[in-house]
Amino acid sequence: MRAQLSIAGGVREFAAATPSAVAVIDGDRRLSYAALHDRSSRLANALLSRGLTSGDTVALLLANQLEYPEAAAGLAKAGLVMVPLNPRLTPPEIAFIVEHSRARALIVDVTLADRAETALAAAEPVLVTGDGGTYEAALAAAHGTDPRVPVSENDPFCVAYTSGTTGAPKGVMISHRSRVLTFYASALEWGLGPGRRSIAVAPMYHGAGFAFGYAAVHTGGTVSMLRSWDPEQLLAMIEKDRAQSVFMVPTHAQTIRALGDLTLRRRDLSSLDTLFFNAAALPVPLKEWVLDTFPHVGVHELYGSTEAGIVTNLRPADAGRKAGSVGHPWFMTEVRIVDEAGVAVPAGTAGELFSRSPYLMNGYLRDPGATRACMTDDGFLTSGDIAVSDEEGFIRIVDRKKDLIITGGVNVYPRDVEIAIDECPGVMESAVIGEHDETWGERVVAYVVGETTADEIEARLRPRLAGYKIPKTIRFVPRLPRNSAGKVLKRELRKDV
């Protein structure tokens, strides 16, 4: 029988190969691979001794902190399934996920415990990290021998809940195999691995944040924890920890740019050689700023989803000439762009994007109907995005299928309008939605962050866009509503109507 892939594998390997190497940095705390292996084994045994068995779920309510990677490794060693919780959720939302996932235990940081009060009764035991918590005592009382509970690589290591934009959140089951292959391919693509240093910027509870934060540990590198987003703190950490590879979302780049060139010049960022972006397309003016500001850094732009994993990547060689694209299909990935009948569309024609790869989810937890609805019989999955491929095979995400605007019987893809608006002088970012219209069915409405006027934007758009695509209403706002993964919450804009 061949060895089974496990997300605990990397910790085991590098605890033996480079035991004194630093795996995790969290402020003044440092964790070597030997210590990470020992502490994660102790956590595994602590949970098993409290009656949990292989396949049980354990919820994590933690920030980006040292305990996150050791909890992930410990749960995998015990054959337990991780359920990451977003610290920004309300107590009822957290309680729903804990109940739906049937979590048998909860690991929570002391600073977040008040958000989980409703869920505490549903999960036992509860281990609290931080000052005065029970987590360290539980580890101290457990033995440090790796329990090595057998787990199939096709079993879920994690159930990650979607944001619930179209109803109750769904639990996405992600296998050990899916994530381990993601870790190794990420190390190859974005410069993670032995001797390499990275920073966990995006929240670890999120699929991409965990994948890229934990990939550094799984492949023998060092990851520093950025507890919460602070652009100046990130720059200070890059300088102090000599970070080489950093994953961000476009909002992070926006706020770094807002600091000004003087702040950037004060920091020694010479260690940085790789930046990779996800969650939303980089507006072309912002991407040009990134390329100009970090001329010696390889800039990647990737696309994916919780359900599909990473689907495409635009590599540095094409970053400038193909700005606005998300590149070609990623390692081991097949892509189809099809019409409503499921027939492949030619280059230059928009269609729904489907992908097939080893990174796909196992399905939605206890929701076979929703799983069937997004899968084809031959194993392709859609996340509901509309894309177009050019003659060279470069893919551009046009929009979410559900965000399509139909005005006067004509399709308008909001992303096309947003790209045009974002290139107007004085505009920082924009979001376009459809609103009900008695005459046209829907009208195009834009929300804009920036210092300009509606007349100036309209004058710039008229030579670029067909008349029916030009927003009938432009509303200026101080900021766009986003989730902690950086995606614009268009449902919040629709609530204002």
What would the pLDDT profile of 69-100 be if each residue is shown by its tens digit?
999 999 999 999 999 998 888 888 898 899 99
Residues 6+ apart with CB under 8 A from 299: 275, 276, 277, 287, 290, 291, 316, 319
Cβ 259 vs Cβ 284: under 8 Å: no
CA distances for 107 relative to 18, 74, 103, 366, 383, angstroms: 28, 12, 11, 23, 30
How is domain 229-400 classified at the CATH fold level? Rossmann fold (3.40.50)
Q: Which helix (H) or strand (E) holds 9?
A: helix 9-17
Most confident of the following: 124-133, 274-283, 332-341: 332-341
3-class secondary structure per residue, 338-362: ECCCCCECCCCCCEEEEEECCCCCC
Residue 90 has a pLDDT of: 82
* Of residues 150 and 464, more confidently modeled: 150
CATH superfamily of 404-495: ANL, C-terminal domain (3.30.300.30)
Structure tokens at 54: 């292989």
Residues 6+ apart with CB under 8 A from 300: 189, 190, 274, 275, 276, 277, 313, 314, 315, 316, 319
Residue 262, pLDDT above cutoff 90: yes
CA distances for 382 relative to 123, 150, 231, 311, 424, angstroms: 34, 32, 34, 11, 33
> Which architecture, in CATH terms, is 9-197?
3-Layer(aba) Sandwich (3.40)
Residues of the chain with CATH 3.30.300.30: 404-495
Residue 165, pLDDT above cutoff 50: no
Residues of the chain with CATH 3.40.50.980: 9-197
CA angle 210, 211, 216 (to 5 degrees): 95
Q: What is the mean pLDDT of the chain?
A: 93
Share of the chain above pLDDT 70, in %: 97
| pLDDT mean over 164-168 | 54
Q: pLDDT tens, 184-237?
A: 999 999 999 999 999 999 999 999 999 999 999 999 999 999 999 999 999 999
Largest interatomic CA distance in the chain: 71
* pTM, rounded to two decimals: 0.86
Residue 436, beta-bridge partner list: 442
Residues of the chain with CATH 3.40.50.12780: 229-400
